[in-house]
Chains A and B, each alone.
Chain A
Amino acid sequence: MSEEMKDIILNYVIEEYLEDEDEEISYDTPLISGGIVDSFSMVSLKRFLENKYNISIPDDRATPEAFDSVTKITVLVDGFLK
């Protein structure tokens, strides 16, 4: 699993979703179940990943569970790159 990819995704999540500058998250912070990303706002993350890595993530794979942490998202994206 690419560390670089994890950092890119982590940075995107921080830029896109965190409102409070003091808030800190890690690779394994629960994003959806932790209330940081609401299921509505997941779409921009999905589109970002698709554009960035030139992949297509079917809706049935873009589940709240699969998007629940930076680590899980990286595993998902890795699966489409192989």
Chain B
Amino acid sequence: MSFSDKLRTIYQEQLNAISDAGIFKKERFIHSQQAADIEVEYPEGAGLKKVINMCANNYLGLSSHPEVIQAAHEGLDSRGYGMSSVRFICGTQDIHRELEARMSEFLGTEDTILFPSCMDANAGVFEAILTDQDVMISDRLVHASIVDGIRLCSAMHDTFKHSNMDHLESKLQLHSDKRLKVVITDGVFSMDGDCAKLDEMVALCEKYDAMLFVDDSHSTGFIGKTGRGTHEKYGVLGKIDIITTTFGKALGGASGGCVSGRKEIVEMCRQKARPYLFSNTIAPVVVSGVLKVMEIISENTERRDKLEQNSAYWRKGLTEAGFVLKDGETPIVPVMLFNAKLSQDVSNDLYNEGIYAIGFFFPVVAKGQARIRTQISAGHEIHHLDKALEAFIKVGKKYDILGKSKQEIIEMYGL
């Protein structure tokens, strides 16, 4: 069938509808390495502009670290470019298994299995370990990749109100007749930057004989006093049955993810998880880079400590300036604007001031919850944060939102 005019019209109408709804995404082209200072072409065809990046997941500032780049070069030279195979045929190198062991050691788990991405890990894990006799009970704000994994699984699915432990307990009681129960949460929620109450969740899971699943993608490497993740912060190392995480954020930021946890769960994924079985694994060059990242962050806590200090400095500056923030203590600091158009206008004005920070609105966040999500990095120096703060204050003054409450901003700009 040729791609007829009729087909083009159907798709063009859908694209127009996305555009008319104001949610058409346009990419900005970065011409430099990922870092605190980047060079950006935006809009397409415009000259390069030097801006401070305030929205990368480069939490530890390791995406372009010279030692990581060097290790990747060495991996490329010694192990080649690609494997041209899935893991179980002829796609497993010694370094894949080395990284799996390294992650188990770091996360305090029994075993680990690598996936091409954490999206794939989340998409594959539930189907691999559950059947229609079981139930998955997830926080209502879990990441989209978990939602997709849940959709692919035949087990019953229910939800509990965000971080509401009483509601979770009522759901564990409601589904007590199921063979297996899995409680599912993000460790740090990506849009709000708040942490799941893992200590309370572990206690509930023990009480009701349920497994606990945590996606720690926005935590691994920096949350907890040695950066092992949300489970370290809440003192429940070794008590999380299934952890998924990514190498695409703090751990070098290239690609790849993993499922780490009880050895039987990991083995079930190795035997049955479709994104693992039917896709090439992480390229050797990336594995080599991640191994170096793990070495760097295991030597000392310098980077996660600096990130913590930077995050506190940034949050304090924005608070004193009079912005409405979401409460939290992670490097994700959402500046609340509530109105979708306002979030886009502020983002554009910030860009003109040399600050790259993106506005998020429905459907990425709930209606009336539009925001600029800022993300702090150990790669930021105080002068980056001061310049960014200066720009935020200038733009905040322009829109007269400094010192204004949520209600006042909504009255001025609507929802």
Contacts from A to B (Cβ < 8 Å): 19, 38, 40-41, 43-44, 47-48, 51
A19 touches B161 (CB 8 A): yes
Main SS of chain B's interface residues? mixed
Among A19, A40, A48, which residue has its beta carbon within 8 angstroms of that of B150?
A40
Main SS of chain A's interface residues? helix
Most B CB within 10 A of own CB, among A19, A44, A47, A48: A44
B159 touches A44 (CB 8 A): yes
Among B157, B171, B175, which residue has its beta carbon within 8 angstroms of that of A40?
B157
Supply 6 further A-B pairs (C-beta < 8 A) apart from A19-B161, A41-B140, A44-B159. Answer: A40-B150, A41-B158, A41-B159, A43-B157, A47-B158, A48-B174
Query: Which B residues are CB-close (under 8 A) to A48?
Result: 174
Query: Which A residues are CB-close (under 8 A) to B174?
Result: 44, 47-48, 51
Query: Which A residues are CB-close (under 8 A) to B165?
Result: none
In the bound assembly, the distance between CA atoms of A75 and B13 in angstroms comes to 39
Query: Which B residues are CB-close (under 8 A) to A41?
Result: 140, 158-159
A43 touches B158 (CB 8 A): yes
- Say yes or no for B236: interface residue by CB 8 A criterion: no
In the bound assembly, the distance between CA atoms of A40 and B175 in angstroms comes to 15
> Nearest A residue to B164 by beta-carbon distance?
A19
> Nearest A residue to B160 by beta-carbon distance?
A44
A47 touches B175 (CB 8 A): yes
Q: Which of B151-179 contact A (CB under 8 A)?
A: 156-159, 161-162, 171, 174-175
Query: Which A residues are CB-close (under 8 A) to B157?
Result: 40, 43
In the bound assembly, the distance between CA atoms of A51 and B157 in angstroms comes to 17
The 5 closest A-B pairs by CB, nearest first: A41-B159, A44-B158, A43-B158, A40-B157, A47-B174
- Could you list 23 A-B pairs, sorted by A, with CB under 8 Å? A19-B161, A19-B162, A38-B159, A40-B147, A40-B150, A40-B157, A40-B158, A40-B159, A41-B140, A41-B158, A41-B159, A43-B156, A43-B157, A43-B158, A44-B158, A44-B159, A44-B171, A44-B174, A47-B158, A47-B174, A47-B175, A48-B174, A51-B174
Query: Which B residues are CB-close (under 8 A) to A38?
Result: 159
Query: Which A residues are CB-close (under 8 A) to B161?
Result: 19
**Minimal beta-carbon separation of B228 from chain A (angstroms):** 31
**Minimal beta-carbon separation of B23 from chain A (angstroms):** 16
